[in-house]
């Protein structure tokens, strides 16, 4: 239960860090919060030859609203979201979601960007990024590129990031006050990985849903955006009969996923959980 | 094998100059290199919370940080809680309320609660339970731990006002 030997590098600037990544590529791992990487190293599931500790890089330590987007720097810890970081529905949603991420001390160290780079299928932030159509800013010594969330996640623990790239910033669209949001997660124990979860958001104007976001996580190899169901929600009146629409959409969500079974839950159970999660997240947002 | 690094750590107001491999966890550095064995190691992968210490006032798992990362930071362990022979209000409350049985998890719970109360001295009962759910007590004495933290929080608020 002790990590294997590695060489420890602590660059003082982002430029220096990117040069180190360009040199060492697959031989190195980036150390930010370390709340997933270090357990994997202690178990010897991960044995990077080199760790590049980015914790001194002030360029990556920011969290600000700018031009309609919430810009989350790579060193933003989960705990930063305990209180709403931006006025309106987005800040409320993030503050609700963060309570489900591991435990208090883990949230003091672990980072938003680290969760996305790690790409655990049960990660709450991966679900939020996918559902709310985040943009990922990847930097390397070669330059910078912006990756859409839909192109970023390739599967369990796999992303579009190249070995010489760092996820420097995540951009989430800030929702106007006419958006309504909901989140529901089921796990066996407080702070444990989600067996099923759903995030829902809807923009309501004149009593009608004009735009919708709906995604589920904890099933499959990555978070899933339910685009077909989002389309069904658009145009629906957000009145008392919305309950009927929610019931129908929850039933349809059940058939749109193909979860695998394991020691924690059967595929059938997971489908039920997703239906219940979708229903509860949508109900919180709309009913 | 990578060379050892010379690192200076600030723990409980004292300075420790140690020579350590980068792979050595902060918990092992505290215990084996600084001789501060109050910090306990249970699971060594961030689940049990026995090794919780404060780093720059935040409770963290010292098994999930490397000792080299603590350079330039302020570390506080359970040895730094009491003021001489006077117990910290949390220690006093754990003692008076039977907040420990075997005592193995106690340093972690104390540092967890100390850090959380520093951030929010007015935690509700739900907040307290949420924070304390971070750590495991294999004697399962959770009710008295919650009770002790609740009473210590009250005592600490009273002292602040006084």
Dist. CA B116–CA A47, nearest whole Å: 33
Contact criterion met (CB < 8 Å) for B131 and A99 = no
At residue A29, does pLDDT exceed 90? yes
Contact criterion met (CB < 8 Å) for B58 and A190 = no
Contact criterion met (CB < 8 Å) for A3 and B25 = yes
CATH number (domain holding residue A147): 3.30.465.10
Which of A173, A193, A208 is the C-terminal boundary of a domain?
A173
Q: Are A70 and A163 part of one and the same domain?
A: yes
- Percent of chain B exceeding pLDDT 70 equals 99
In tens, the pLDDT along A136-158 reads: 999 999 999 999 999 999 999 99
At residue A23, does pLDDT exceed 80? yes
Q: Are A106 and A152 part of one and the same domain?
A: yes
Pick A108's closest partner by Cβ from B5, B59, B69: B59
In tens, the pLDDT along B79-131 reads: 999 999 999 999 999 999 999 999 999 999 999 999 999 999 999 999 999 99
Pick B60's closest partner by Cβ from A5, A8, A108: A108
In tens, the pLDDT along A152-182 reads: 999 999 999 999 999 999 999 999 999 999 9
Residue showing tokens 């961030």: B46
pLDDT band per the 50, 70, 90 thresholds, residue A221: very high
Pick B60's closest partner by Cβ from A39, A53, A105: A105
What mean pLDDT do residues A52-70 have?
97
Average pLDDT, chain A: 96
Q: Are A14 and A85 part of one and the same domain?
A: no
Q: Are A103 and A134 part of one and the same domain?
A: yes
Q: Which residues of B touch A (CB under 8 A)?
A: 1-2, 5, 21-25, 28, 43-46, 49, 52, 58-61, 63-66, 68-69, 112, 115-116, 130-131, 133-134
Domains of chain B: 5-80 (3.10.20.30), 89-161 (1.10.150.120)
Nearest CA in chain A to B120: A82
- Number of domains within chain A: 3
Contact criterion met (CB < 8 Å) for B23 and A6 = yes
In tens, the pLDDT along A229-247 reads: 999 999 999 987 888 899 9
User: So what's the pLDDT on residue A27?
Assistant: 97
Asked whether residue A116 is assigned to any structural domain, the reply reads: yes
Q: What proportions of chain B, in percent to the nearest 5, are helix, strand and coil?
A: 40, 20, 40
What mean pLDDT do residues A76-90 have?
97
pLDDT band per the 50, 70, 90 thresholds, residue A287: confident
The residues in A 92-121 lying below 8 A from B, measured between CB atoms, are 99, 103-106, 108-109
Nearest CA in chain B to A101: B134
What mean pLDDT do residues A109-129 have?
97
User: So what's the pLDDT on residue A241?
Assistant: 81
pTM of the complete model beyond 0.90 = yes
At residue A16, does pLDDT exceed 70? yes
Asked whether residue A163 is assigned to any structural domain, the reply reads: yes
Q: Are A104 and A39 part of one and the same domain?
A: no
Q: Are A251 and A167 part of one and the same domain?
A: no
Asked whether residue A72 is assigned to any structural domain, the reply reads: yes
Pick B21's closest partner by Cβ from A5, A43, A190: A5
Q: Are A146 and A218 part of one and the same domain?
A: no
What mean pLDDT do residues A186-209 have?
94
Farthest-apart Cα atoms in chain A, separation: 61
Asked whether residue A211 is assigned to any structural domain, the reply reads: yes
Identify which of A254, A255, A250 has the alpha carbon closest to the alpha carbon of residue A281: A250
Contact criterion met (CB < 8 Å) for A53 and B69 = yes
Q: Are A237 and A190 part of one and the same domain?
A: yes
Asked whether residue A1 is assigned to any structural domain, the reply reads: no
Q: Is A46 on the interface with B (CB under 8 A)?
A: no
At residue B69, does pLDDT exceed 80? yes
Contact criterion met (CB < 8 Å) for B66 and A8 = yes
Asked whether residue A194 is assigned to any structural domain, the reply reads: yes
At residue B1, does pLDDT exceed 60? no
Residue A203 Cα, gap to closest chain B Cα (Å): 31
**Residue A73: which H helix or E strand, with range?**
strand A69-73
Which of A117, A139, A173 is the C-terminal boundary of a domain?
A173
Q: Are A109 and A203 part of one and the same domain?
A: no
Q: Is A47 on the interface with B (CB under 8 A)?
A: no
Q: How many residue pairs bridge chain A and chain B with CB atoms within 8 Å of each other?
A: 89
Q: Are A95 and A33 part of one and the same domain?
A: no
Through-space distance between the first and last CA atoms of chain B, rounded to whole angstroms: 56
Q: Are A246 and A213 part of one and the same domain?
A: yes
User: So what's the pLDDT on residue A191?
Assistant: 86
What mean pLDDT do residues A83-104 have?
97
Dist. CA B90–CA B47, nearest whole Å: 23
* Whether B5 contacts B68, CB under 8 Å: yes
Q: Are A220 and A134 part of one and the same domain?
A: no
Residue numbers in B near A51 (CB within 8 A): 22, 66
**Residue A210: which H helix or E strand, with range?**
strand A208-217
Residue numbers in A near B133 (CB within 8 A): 103, 190-191
User: So what's the pLDDT on residue A239?
Assistant: 81
Asked whether residue A2 is assigned to any structural domain, the reply reads: no
pLDDT band per the 50, 70, 90 thresholds, residue A189: confident
Dist. CA B107–CA B50, nearest whole Å: 7
CATH number (domain holding residue A23): 3.30.43.10
Give the number of other Cβ atoms within 10 Å of residue A203's Cβ: 18
Nearest CA in chain A to B56: A108
* Domain membership of residue A19 as a residue range: 7-53
User: So what's the pLDDT on residue A68?
Assistant: 97
- Whether the complex's predicted ipTM is more than 0.85 is answered with yes
At residue A261, does pLDDT exceed 80? yes
Contact criterion met (CB < 8 Å) for A104 and B130 = yes
Asked whether residue A29 is assigned to any structural domain, the reply reads: yes
User: So what's the pLDDT on residue B2?
Assistant: 58
Residue B135 Cα, gap to closest chain A Cα (Å): 9
Nearest CA in chain B to A8: B22
What mean pLDDT do residues A88-107 have?
97
Average pLDDT, chain B: 96
Which of A145, A173, A201 is the C-terminal boundary of a domain?
A173
CATH number (domain holding residue A187): 3.30.390.50
């Amino acid at each position: 239960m002790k990590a294997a030997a590695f060489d420890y590098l602590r660059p003082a600037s982002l430029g220096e860090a990117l040069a180190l990544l360009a040199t060492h590529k697959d031989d190195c791992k980036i150390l930010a919060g370390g709340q997933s990487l270090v357990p994997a190293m202690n178990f010897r599931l991960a044995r990077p030859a080199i760790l590049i500790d980015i914790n001194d890089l002030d360029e990556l330590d920011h969290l600000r609203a700018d031009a309609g987007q919430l810009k989350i720097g790579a060193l933003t810890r989960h705990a930063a979201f305990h209180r709403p970081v931006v006025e309106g529905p987005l800040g409320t949603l993030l503050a609700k979601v963060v309570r489900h991420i591991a435990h208090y001390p883990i949230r003091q160290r672990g980072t938003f960007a680290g969760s996305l780079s790690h790409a655990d299928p049960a990660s709450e932030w991966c679900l939020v990024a996918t559902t709310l159509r985040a943009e990922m800013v990847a930097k390397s010594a070669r330059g910078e590129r912006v990756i859409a969330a839909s192109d970023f996640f390739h599967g369990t623990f796999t992303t579009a990031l190249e070995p010489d790239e760092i996820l420097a910033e995540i951009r989430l669209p800030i929702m106007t006050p006419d958006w309504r949001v909901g989140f529901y997660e089921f796990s066996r124990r407080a702070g444990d990985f989600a067996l099923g979860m759903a995030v829902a958001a809807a923009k309501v104007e004149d009593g009608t849903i004009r735009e919708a976001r709906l995604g589920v996580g904890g099933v499959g190899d990555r978070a899933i955006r339910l685009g077909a169901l989002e389309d069904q929600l658009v145009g629906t009146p957000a009145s008392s009969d919305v309950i009927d629409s929610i019931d129908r959409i929850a039933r349809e969500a059940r058939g749109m996923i193909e979860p695998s079974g394991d020691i924690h839950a059967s595929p059938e159970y997971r489908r039920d959980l997703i239906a219940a999660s979708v229903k509860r997240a949508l109900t919180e947002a709309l009913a | 094998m990578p060379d050892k690094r010379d690192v200076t750590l600030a723990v409980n107001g004292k300075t420790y100059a140690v020579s350590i491999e980068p792979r050595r966890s902060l918990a092992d550095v505290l215990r084996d290199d600084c001789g501060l064995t109050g910090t306990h190691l249970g699971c060594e992968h961030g689940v049990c919370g026995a090794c919780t210490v404060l780093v720059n006032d935040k409770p963290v798992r010292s098994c999930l940080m490397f000792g080299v990362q603590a350079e330039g930071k302020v570390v506080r362990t359970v040895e730094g809680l009491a003021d001489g022979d006077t117990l910290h209000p949390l220690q006093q409350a754990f003692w008076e309320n039977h907040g420990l049985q075997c005592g193995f998890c106690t340093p972690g719970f104390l540092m967890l609660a100390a850090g959380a109360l520093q951030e929010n001295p007015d935690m509700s009962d739900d907040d307290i339970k949420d924070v304390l759910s971070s750590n495991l007590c294999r004697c399962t004495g959770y009710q008295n731990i919650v009770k002790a933290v609740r009473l210590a929080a009250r005592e600490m608020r009273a002292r602040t006002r006084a």
